[in-house]
């Protein structure tokens, strides 16, 4: 359930608590303070209203705690994602340096990592498909892989290891 939906539910519960509180106060005033003797039915009715208001207050506390937990978790995951993006970018550029890729090969390798086809890469770089194919072959030779899938897996394996390490660190801290 999204946090906005939980907020709406919490608001409805708060309004219900307000209603029950005013109803209980009204009943107490009418039956007890106004000196008319409350019947067993009136007391039972009052008991259930007080119980309902208490249950709603408990539900609100639980929802507020859940909302806070979800917001903290969302913040942590956003920070982790930002870190991973930065780490991945840094890792990719280090690998490109290690493999001595030219500027054009770096561009093409990055497009391949993003999932673009040869035709899409050629269009994005305003070059012929044959040129992209030749540079792709050079990239495969320099990286010792046979396909774009193998190239992607080189980076995904590292990305997953870095992500797992961050998750472990967060669990140790939390």
pLDDT digits 0-9 by tens, 69-121? 888 888 888 887 777 777 778 888 888 999 999 999 999 999 998 889 999 99
3-state DSSP: the chain helix, strand, coil percent, rounded to 5?
Answer: 85, 0, 15
116 Rama class: left (phi>0) / alpha (psi -120 to 50) / beta:
beta
> What pTM did the predictor assign?
0.50
The Cβ of residue 122 has, within 10 Å, a number of other Cβ atoms equal to 19
The distance of Cα 112 from the centroid of its chain, to the nearest Å, equals: 27
- For 75-142, the DSSP string reads HHHHHHHHHHHHHHHHHHHHHHHHTT--HHHHHHHHHHHTT--HHHHHHHHT--HHHHHHHHHHHHHH
pLDDT tens digit sequence for 119-162: 999 999 999 999 999 999 999 999 999 998 888 888 777 667 76
């Amino acid at each position: 359930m999204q946090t906005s939906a939980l907020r709406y539910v919490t608001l409805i519960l708060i309004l219900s608590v307000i209603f029950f509180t005013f109803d209980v106060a009204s009943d107490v005033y009418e039956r007890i303070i106004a000196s008319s003797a409350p019947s067993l039915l009136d007391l039972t009715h009052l008991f259930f209203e007080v119980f309902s208001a208490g249950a709603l207050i408990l539900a609100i506390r639980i929802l507020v705690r859940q909302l806070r937990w979800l917001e903290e978790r969302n913040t942590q995951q956003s920070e982790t994602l930002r870190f991973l993006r930065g780490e991945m970018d840094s890792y990719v550029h280090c690998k490109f340096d290690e493999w001595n890729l030219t500027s054009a090969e770096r561009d093409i390798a990055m497009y391949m990592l993003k999932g673009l086809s040869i035709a899409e890469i050629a269009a994005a770089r305003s070059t012929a498909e044959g040129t992209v194919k030749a540079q792709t072959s050079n990239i495969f030779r320099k990286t010792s892989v046979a396909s774009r899938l193998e190239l992607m897996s080189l980076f995904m394996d590292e990305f997953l290891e870095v992500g797992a390490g961050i998750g472990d660190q967060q669990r140790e801290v939390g």
